[in-house]
Structure 1
Amino acid sequence: MKENKNNGLRVALIQSTLYWENPVANREMFQTKIDQIIAPVDIIVLPEMFTTGFSMSPGNIKKEEGLKTLDWMKNIAHSKNTAVVGSIIFYENDKYYNRLFFVKPNRTFETYDKRHTFTLAGEDKEYSSGKERLIVNYKGFSICPLVCYDLRFPVWSRNTENFDVLLYTANWPTPRINAWNALLKARAIENMVYCIGVNRIGEDKVGHKYSGHTSVYDPLGELLLLSEIEETVIVELFKNEINLVRKKFRFLDDRDGFSLLN
């Protein structure tokens, strides 16, 4: 796809190992990685539960850590003049959530609580499920951020609002990485969007291994980027390319209308 330098959105994707249930160590580690991003970017994306790993013991984390991480994200967004996105364990009103924060440079933020908690790991027993999808308007792009297991549910991901980007943060393990690759591509094609998946890498304390595969697909499902190592990668998205593809292939005009019942 041809590039247009006048309407790009530069997105930094950080694929990293994580310290198990250690928010302080993870914030320090990500601070170092973010400080090493020299080129200007518009968004920095971190993996799912980036301060703890995919822990099913939220009670092991001090309840105030969620607010501390939110403040940390606000400070980075402001100092780097970029949005910062990622999900964390968050405690509120006597409940735990796998909550994604989209924090903007002016320190304002929007939130999304993971809709599809991962029953295979018992996430549904420890974390409350979200009920509403989030669409963020940022620098001329409309972005729908979702979390990990949400990727398996095309109805929840369906592009009913004509958004431009589907963004998934994840802790997606190696044994099911083929599904990750296939579903990211499918979500891009069926929704005619850029589809981004940011995964972690390494092994956690309960023995799950992660091979990364942080990826970006264009609105026709072409792979733009794939990473299998611990690194920060930058991709640029172009609004005019979305418009050109949708004008040429008007597939979204034929999508089925529907309403979610619960």
Structure 2
Amino acid sequence: METLSVGVCQTPVFNKLEEISPWLDKISNDSPGTLWIFPELFLGGFDYENKEAWAEKSLELQEVMTRFAADTGNILGGSLWDRQDEKYYNTFYLFTPDRGALKVYSKLHLFLPGKENQYFTAGSACPDPFVHHGIKIGFAICHDLRYPELFLHQQGNEPDIFIVNAQWPLARIEHWLTLLRARAIENQCYVLACNGMGNSALGRLAGHSCLITSWGRTRFIINEEPGMKKAELEEEVIVKDREMFDSRRSPFFELRLKI
């Protein structure tokens, strides 16, 4: 495992493509080589009535972020409206300097109270790991956080960090913080979480984007305000935890999945 800087851009939902520009300006003034994550559906949010427009705008944003990654040497990530064969998916993209735009995962666990299942199609596969600088990265989107099976299934690839982005409401902030820490501890790896903030179609968003270590310690956190923070991953945090004991797989139970 090599050194990698990871960070979050805790933003409100963007209603215009240009609203990402100040955030990209701040990233460009920082040192290159950082993995920066944006919230779930950070362009358009859950504006179901205008889904076609947001899918088109997301294509434009993909071009912007791909060029930015190539020009600055940073990696950007976040989920966007993704239209395929007249179906819509909530898809997590990575924008890399050398490989361009990558679809890494379409959300599996759609949030029924938010009517996601009426407008989005669930993904068909568990995400494969993304490997960068020798660091293996797993993924989840918002409501996925409540399902440890998704994380446990990815453990077969020995991830060093999980990325979770979301539009998690303030009304369930305690669930957000508790589940993030649980996923880090039970999987003995980092969790980098980027949530939206401000008002949205789902109500007021909680913010509290953070980086949590495999020991359950919070390296950084942003409260409810917009902002950016980053930190370096430390190899010894994970290595020492796993050398002490390995609790990622039970010798008594087998994990069985449909996908």
What is the identity percentage for the equivalent residue pairs of Structure 1 and Structure 2? 25
Q: Structure 1 CA distance, aligned partners of 2:198 and 2:55?
A: 26
Give the aligned partner of residue 242 of structure 1: 238
Out of 232-241 and 183-192, give the one that drifted further.
232-241
Residue 260, structure 1, aligned to residue 253, structure 2: no
What residue identity is the alignment partner of 2:38? L
Other-structure match for 1:95: 87
Residue aligning to 1:3: none
Distance in 2, Cα, partners of 1:136 & 1:57:
33
Match of 1:18 in 2: 13
CA distance in 1, matches of 2:103, 2:90: 14
State the distance in 1 between where 2:207 and 2:54 align. 28
5 Å-filtered alignment, 1:89-128, equals 89-108=81-100, 109-128=102-121
Residue 132 of structure 2 aligns to which amino acid in structure 1?
A: Y
- Which secondary structure does the structure 2 equivalent of 1:27 belong to? helix
Sort the Cα spacing of 1:63 and 1:170 in 2 relative to 1 into closer, same or farther, 3 A. closer
Structure 1 pair 93/207, CA: closer, same or farther in 2 (3 Å)? closer
2:63 corresponds to = 71
2:148 counterpart (154, 157, 173): 154
Equivalent positions of 1:19-98 (< 5 A) are 19-20=14-15, 22=16, 24-35=17-28, 37-61=29-53, 63-98=55-90
Q: 1:7 aligns with which of 2, 25, 38?
A: 2
Preserved contact between residue 188 and residue 220 of structure 1 (Cα < 8 Å) = yes
SS of 1:71 mapped into structure 2: helix
TM-score, length of structure 1 as denominator length: 0.89
SS in 1 for 2:177: helix
Distance 1:85 1:130 in 2: 18
Query: Which residue of 2 is the match for residue 168 of structure 1?
Result: 164
Candidates 181, 189, 194, aligned match of 1:193: 189
3-state DSSP of counterpart to 1:61: helix
Deviation at 1:54, TM superposition (A): 2.9
Q: CA-atom RMSD, angstroms?
A: 1.9
User: CA 1:29–1:179 in structure 2 vs 1: closer, same or farther (change >3 Å)?
Assistant: same
Amino acid at match of 2:4: L
Deviates more, 1:11-20 or 1:139-148: 11-20
Instruction: Decide whether the 8 Å contact of 1:7 with 1:240 is kept in 2.
Output: no
Distance 1:207 1:186 in 2: 25
Cα shift readout 1:90-129 (whole Å, capped 9, x = no counterpart): 1111111111101221143242101111111100110010
Distance in 2 between the 1:38 and 1:63 partners? Answer: 30
Alignment check: 8 A CA contact 1:54 1:171 kept: no
- Structure 2, unaligned runs of 5 or more: none
Q: Distance in 1 between matches of 2:181 and 2:217?
A: 8
Deviates more, 1:182-191 or 1:206-215: 206-215
C-alpha change, 1:237 and 1:56, in structure 2 (3 Å) is: same
Mapped to 2, the partners of 1:8 and 1:57 lie a distance apart of: 43
Find the counterpart in structure 1 of residue 216 from structure 2: 221
Question: Residues 127, 185 of structure 1: CA spacing in aligned structure 2 closer, same or farther, 3 A cutoff?
Answer: same
Gaps of 5+ in 1: 1-5
Residue 207 of structure 1 and its aligned partner are, at CA, apart by 6.5
Paired amino acid for 1:215: C
The one-character-per-residue Cα deviations of 1:197-238 (angstroms, maximum 9, x if unpaired) are 10111112x461123100111011111111112111011112
